[in-house]
Amino acid sequence: MVARSTDCPDGWLAFEGSCYLFGHTPAHFTEAQHFCAQHGGSLIHVDLAMENDFIRTYIRDLHQSDSHHWWLGLTDVLVEGHFKWVDTNTPATFLGWAPGEEFTLNEDCAAFYNSLDFKWADVGCELNDIIPLCEISSV
């Protein structure tokens, strides 16, 4: 794995022009986005399969002795079934859903789901046991 030399704030992980912060405190979706904004980023916006694979590999390793889900910055709270990224307000193009996990009414926020090998699942935005995963993107 080759990471470009990206200047990231202390505690952030650099990969391919972005910086990532893996939170420690579970929160609901809005709190998680607030946490990321306070640190100068936004909940993660996954552009490509390569980025998705990198993150899943990383959090799998983090989880060998622990078990959490991780928020993505992706929600269909406005129009059911139309998932948009919170940082750009644009529709998702690359999608990493686990099979059957993207169209649940009343589950409008997306998370890397531990029991689905960190494929994406839609979950209730109010769930407060999910960890913020933040990104600062230069692209």
Q: Which amino acid, residue 34?
A: H
Q: Which of 3, 65, 45 is nearest to 135 (CA)?
A: 45
**β-pairing verdict for 120-123 and 69-75:** unpaired
Q: Is the distance from CB of 98 to CB of 119 less than 8 angstroms?
A: yes
Q: Which of 31, 47, 63, 97 binds Ca ion (CB under 5 A)?
A: 47
3-state secondary structure of 64: helix
Sequence-separated (6 or more) residues with CB below 8 Å from residue 29: 43, 71, 75, 109, 125, 126, 127, 130
Closest C-alpha among 84, 135, 132, 134 to residue 108: 84
102 contacts Ca ion (rule: CB under 5 A): no
The reply to whether 56 sits near Ca ion by the rule CB under 5 A is no
- Closer CB to Ca ion, 67 or 103, in the complex: 103
87 interacts with Ca ion by CB under 5 A? no
Residue 105 C-beta: closest distance to Ca ion, Å: 6
Minimum CB distance to Ca ion, residue 37 (Å): 16
Complex with Ca ion: residue 65 or 137, whichever CB lies closer: 137
Sole window of 30-38, 41-49, 109-117, 126-134 interacting with Ca ion (rule: CB under 5 A):
41-49
Region from 31-39, 45-53, 64-72, 86-94 binding Ca ion, contact rule CB under 5 A: 45-53
**According to CB under 5 A, which residues from 107 to 126 bind Ca ion?**
108
* Interacting residues toward Ca ion by CB under 5 A: 45, 47, 76, 108, 137
